[in-house]
Amino acid sequence: RNLKWQIQCRGDIGRLNAPFLAIYESLIPAEEEKAKQKQLLTLLEKLVCKEWPDARLYLYGSCANSFGVCKSDIDVCLAINNKEINKSEILLKLADILQTDNLQNVQALTRARVPIVKLMDPVTGISCDICINNLLAVVNTKLLRDYARIDVRLRQLAFIVKHWAKSRGVNETYQGTLSSYAYVLMCIHFLQQRRPAILPCLQGMDKTYSVTVDDIEYSYFDQVERLRDFGSHNKETIAQLVWAFFNYWAYGHDYASNVISVRTGSIIRKLEKDWTRRVGNDRHLICIEDPFEITHDLGRVVDKYSIKVLREEFERAAEIMQYDPNPCVTLFERY
Ligand code: GTP
Ligand code: MG
């Protein structure tokens, strides 16, 4: 495996840049889609504020972290300061309030892992999930968005990796593969590790932004407009990065011992985190540390069957990037 990790990239990698960039461009959502999302959020705010004047709505997830491809659903967080009643009651009440002529298929899913209200807006055609007080998701959404503003290659790489994962059926947490959020963290970490580095480690720099959630402070450097040249010493192009990303996850990563950590901008040891054995349902077969909830392994959903599927997909992708005459097609073939 290690020998393979040392292999030279194919000589004609340069000719793959234009087609990969074309795929990236085709996945960027249109401005009008953003406008429709805003419109739906405004409608929701109006309805929610009648019942809870102090409540606030935040967009999070791919509609706000800049890693959303076109025609995505939106994720909304209702921030409400009401310690008296429980989440289920709030969700049922919320579903009731939103049950208006303007919205369709309003359902409260109170028993889900993350309880939500789901709905569809027939005017814009957008579906939406609303959760309650999941403020860390709003904070990690900002972190991802800030990273994306430093170097455009992050967004390019993440769009291609997400598109690959969806096409190959390895973006399904309920089937033991990884969330989109996990893939974006893998891309950020990968670009932090390039030499010269393409991304810095924002949580390792002076704090310019800080927020308190449930009495815990989270902070990092967020003046990213000052970091626009950060990656300029590294001239790697998108095709080289896609090649190297899959090569790393196929042959370079030490699954037995290592954890990738965006928080520290480095690789840390499973031993250090006590992630060496199965605890409950968490098997730690691929370890991706959440940047804020550091006891959270985003690979915890992966089981002994799906780790095989994932690693075979990484190897397939690496082989295609190395040898296939037409990787921009083969990579995304439906599984
Ligand atoms: P797509 O909808 O697939 O385009 O991507 P998405 O960015 O919306 O990703 P996903 O549905 O995986 O997650 C939505 C948001 O929820 C993420 O951006 C995170 O903010 C948050 N999130 C998802 N999974 C986790 C998790 O396991 N831990 C934490 N802390 N946050 C999560
Ligand atoms: Mg989403």
**What pLDDT score was predicted for residue 58?**
97
**What pLDDT score was predicted for residue 102?**
86
Which of the ligands is closest to the CA of residue 64?
1
179 CB less than 6 Å from ligand 1?
Answer: yes
What is the share, in percent, of the chain residues with pLDDT greater than 70?
99
299 CB less than 6 Å from ligand 1?
Answer: no
Q: How far is the CA of 65 from the centre of ligand 2 (A)?
A: 10
Residue 3: is its pLDDT beyond 70?
A: no
Q: Which atom of ligand 1 is nearest to the CA of 144?
A: 18
175 CB less than 6 Å from ligand 1?
Answer: no
68 CB less than 6 Å from ligand 1?
Answer: yes
180 CB less than 6 Å from ligand 1?
Answer: yes
What is the share, in percent, of the chain residues with pLDDT greater than 90?
90
**ipTM score assigned to the predicted complex:** 0.95
CA distance 29 to 26: 8
Q: Which atom of ligand 1 is nearest to the CA of 140?
A: 20
Tens of pLDDT, residue by residue over 60-72, are 999 999 999 988 8
> What protein residues have CB closer than 5 angstroms to ion ligand 2?
61-62, 75
Smallest CA separation from ligand 1 atom 31, residue: 137
Band (pLDDT 50/70/90 cuts) for residue 202 is: very high
Band (pLDDT 50/70/90 cuts) for residue 2 is: low
Q: Which atom of ligand 1 is nearest to the CA of 182?
A: 12
Tens of pLDDT, residue by residue over 101-133, are 789 999 999 998 889 999 999 988 999 999 999
**What pLDDT score was predicted for residue 4?**
67
